[in-house]
Amino acid sequence: MAGQLRDIKRRVRAVRNTQQITKAMEMVAAAKLRRAQERVLAARPYARELEETLGRIAATGVDYGHPLAKAREEVERIGYVIITADRGLCGSYNANVIRKADAQLAEIADTDYEPELISVGRKGRDYFRHRDWDFLAEFTNLGEEIDYDAAKSVADLIVNFYTAGDLDEVYIVYTEFKSALSQYPRIVKLLPIGEPRDLEEGSGEEVDGTIEAAEGRDAEAGTSLSGELDYIYEPSVEAVLEKLLPTYVTNLVYHALLEAKASEHGARMTAMSAASDNAEEMIKDLTMEMNRARQAGITKEISEIVGGAEALKG
């Protein structure tokens, strides 16, 4: 009986120590999530204005002659940029992104398309490497706070692969941040640049239509895009696109990295909170088991004392 009590006490101490760790990790993740969420919200207005500018240019009927906007006549090699975390302990965050990418790769497995992978994060890289996938490029340890230079290094390499003809299309697989409790894996076409997306500020949701949506918003504001140019572009529309399209690609990558990082912190905070709650339940169950064992021991000792007394009387 004494050995059983010692074992239960040891288990209670171990679970309580683990609970202290999970609570600390939850608090750290919550602090990081606040900063990451602020960065996501701060980046959305610029992303929206950039896409609206492209929408206005597209609505004028200008020909997108830029290499990044020109679709290939034959698509053979498709690139997938898969963004995961460098670490675990974040619930199903990594598994959801990997499952999304796996489903897409399975969908084109029986076609003539040749998929090429670019990994951002250790977890996705390790998963696909164990399944004998090769990578065009790998990016790890980008840091807890994604900066624009890191996103530009990723985007520049993707652009180089595309312009060199190593890739005919590029898609980015990442997790869109909704809240600390909800994150959604998504696949977004990165190259070639077609109709620009439109991000609803504060929601992170993709608005349907892009060019039509831009026209509708500007019509409400009393601006028409259907006829003449609403803006004068200097030195020319083509020169503006020459600078704007690479910036647009970099901004898409940057925005996806920010969303992914905020989603990672939110998933980790939620996972650690659930782990702390589970540890509390385990401590309650073990304490009850320990009390029952102690009570059984006391009852046994009383019975032995009573039995001994009765024997002495006899």
Query: Residue 31's Cα: distance from chain center in Å?
Result: 17
Q: Are 186 and 176 in contact (CB under 8 A)?
A: yes
Q: In the structure encoding, which two tokens stand for residue 37, read together?
A: 């969420």
Burial status of residue 33 (CB atoms within 10 A of its CB: 0-12, 13-18, 19 or more): buried
The interaxial angle of helices 211-220 and 2-59, nearest 10 deg, is 70
Contact between 98 and 124 under an 8 Å Cβ cutoff? The reply is yes
- Integer Cα distance of 189 and 135 in angstroms: 19
The residue to which tokens 């039995």 are assigned:
307
Cβ–Cβ under 8 Å, residues 68 and 163: yes
Which uninterrupted H or E stretch holds 296? helix 237-313
Distances (CA, A) of 184 to 39, 79, 255: 18, 21, 15
216 is catalytic: no
Exactly one of 40, 78, 85, 90 is catalytic; name it: 90
Contact 190, 202 (CB under 8 A): no
The two three-digit tokens of residue 31, written as one number: 């602090």
- DSSP H or E run through 130: helix 122-130
Cβ contact 197:210 at 8 Å? yes
Known catalytic residues are 90
